[in-house]
Amino acid sequence: MRIVFFGTPAFAVPTLQQLLARSEFEVVAAVTQPDKRRGRGKQVMPSPVKQLAEEQGIPVWQPRRIKKDQPTLERLRQAAADAFVVVAYGQILSQAILDMPRLGCVNVHGSLLPKYRGAAPIQWCLHAGETETGIATMLMDAGMDTGAVLLKASVPIAWGENAWQLGDRLADLGATLLVETLLKLERGDIEPLPQDSKLATYAPLIQKADYALDWSRTAIALHNQVRAFYPSCTATYADKPLKILQTVPLTSAASANANLLPNIAALQAIAFPEGAPGEVVHLAKQLGPVVRTGGGVLLLSKVQPSGKKPQSGWDFVNGTRVRVGERLGGSL
């Protein structure tokens, strides 16, 4: 089966690896976003998909606007592909492109469609506190993740799992499901099922404002925000930015998830004093500061002060001499 692969970030790499490892498939080209400046040095860097494709000797095409790029459109026509595989590519494909391959364009999407259509399904499902998510493969149409679903696979979400951790698991699951999808599609052993748009929810692009922590929200809501937008959620301490990387809400719901914190029961037995949202109400030895929120208290178990490396909450307490009664603010 001749495949043109469309993808850009690390999430797409396991699927490309699976296609390259299977004798049933021939990846004739990889289409990815143009190189971008990344990191503190702002060096021009290729996408993870481009790096893998070049290592494997696969032609790489990087149109800035694929719908308007005539040389790329002609290459796609000449590829005579059986299927285009699309995994987090980052550009919308025109109907003309969707109509090119014999079996259609197959997308690997990081949610159980029709839930969380859009650019950031993993992050927004965590933000909503979902306990289950998964992968859907889909025959693409002109809409935003509205095509008929081919296969689904679900996974439970761990209570403390962040977007990077969940993304790694879903990337591997998506790679496996994509192979199964293509083989069944080729044999005619799969029936595309239209989505029920009445059940659709959306996962829009993440904005900078989504990283700002508001301590008047509940401890569980803040915990979900931190893990959803890891590692970017930011508060302030002593008028300087403080990234919050890992938290534990000290609620009854956390009791059933002792993997978050081995001695959580002992902490829950403490009668924490009242305080304003953002106020440090306790210093948990070897763990970190406990902060009052608009609903419950939140342990900050891993943070990153401005200009420093990530550190445990307890190292932060010792390094900055945090005291009970001090308040953390929102982002600058």
- The predicted-structure confidence for 242-273, as pLDDT tens digits, reads as follows 999 999 998 765 544 555 566 666 777 788 89
Rounded CA gap, 126 and 224, in Å?
6
Q: pLDDT value at position 5?
A: 98
Are the CB atoms for 106 and 182 separated by under 8 Å? Answer: yes
CATH class of 208-320: alpha beta
- Please give the pLDDT value at position 94: 96
Residues of the chain with CATH 3.40.50.170: 2-199
Residues 92 and 72: their CA atoms lie apart, in Å, by: 14
Q: Is 114 annotated as belonging to a binding site?
A: yes
Strand partners, 4: 29, 84
What confidence score (pLDDT) does residue 332 get?
53
Q: What is the CATH number of domain 2-199?
A: 3.40.50.170
Share of residues in the chain with pLDDT > 90 (%):
87
Contacts of 324 (CB under 8 A, 6+ apart): 280, 281, 282, 283
d(CA 308, CA 153): 40
Query: CA 80, 83, 88 angle in degrees (round to 5)?
Result: 125
Start-end of CATH 3.10.25.10 domains in the chain: 208-320
Q: If you count them, how many residues does the chain have?
A: 332
C-beta separation of 244 from 329 below 8 A: no
Helix axes 163-187, 13-21, angle to 10 degrees: 40
Name residues of the chain where pLDDT drops below 70: 252-265, 331-332
Query: Is 34 assigned to a binding site?
Result: no
Alpha carbon distances (Å) from 19 to 3, 90, 185:
9, 20, 15
DSSP state of 218: B
pLDDT of residue 160: 87
For residue 113, say whether it is annotated as part of any ligand binding site.
Answer: yes
How far apart CA 75 and CA 328 sit, in angstroms, is 55
Q: Give the pLDDT confidence score for residue 42 in this predicted structure.
A: 77
End-to-end CA distance of the chain: 52
Partners of 329 in the β-ladder: 236
pLDDT of residue 159: 86
User: Is 111 labelled as part of a ligand binding site?
Assistant: yes
Phi, psi of 46 (to 5 degrees): -75, 160
Provide the mean pLDDT of the chain.
94
13 neighbors 88 (Cβ within 8 angstroms):
no
Residue 167: in which H helix or E strand, if any?
helix 163-187
Query: What pTM value is reported for the model?
Result: 0.93
